[in-house]
Amino acid sequence: MKNDKKNDFADRRGAAADAKAARLQAHRAAREAAEPTRLARQEERAAAAAAKQERDAERERTQREEQKRAEAEAAEKTAAEAAVEAEAQTPGESQNDQGSPVVEDEAAKKAERDRRYANRKARKR
């Protein structure tokens, strides 16, 4: 059986336009139907990103606090070691030099310089 329908260019072009319009309409309907789930997923992503930012900020704050505490401990330890070293050197030098004021002054300067150096290094860490 032969198709009696006239199949010229204008008919084919009209059929293609109708098919294109039908596809576009189906796409729009599918997009509107998926809109609530898309919004829900978007909100979930936003909530997850906010939670991650909070966790990262908390982690950074904790690390900074830990670093400051470690620096303070290191500075205290270095200062204490320098003080002990200065005390250990001062009596020995006094016995050897019989209390030379120049040597005692230089030892005090060295202890102070060492303490400042240790504090500066602790701040940089």
Q: pTM for the complete prediction? A: 0.42
pLDDT tens digits, 25-41: 999 999 998 898 989 99
Q: How confident is the model at residue 1 (pLDDT cuts 50, 70, 90)?
A: very low
Q: Identify each DSSP E strand in the chain by its residue range.
A: none
pLDDT tens digits, 55-106: 999 999 999 999 999 999 988 888 888 888 888 776 555 555 456 777 888 8
Calculate ∠ Cα 77-80-81, nearest 5°: 85
Average pLDDT over residues 106-112: 88
User: CB–CB of 89/107 below 8 Å?
Assistant: yes
Calculate ∠ Cα 85-88-93, nearest 5°: 115
Per the model's pLDDT, the better-predicted residue between 120 and 93 turns out to be 120
Q: What share of the chain is helix, strand, coil (3-state, %, to 5)?
A: 90, 0, 10
Can you give the pLDDT at residue 86?
81
Can you give the pLDDT at residue 122?
84
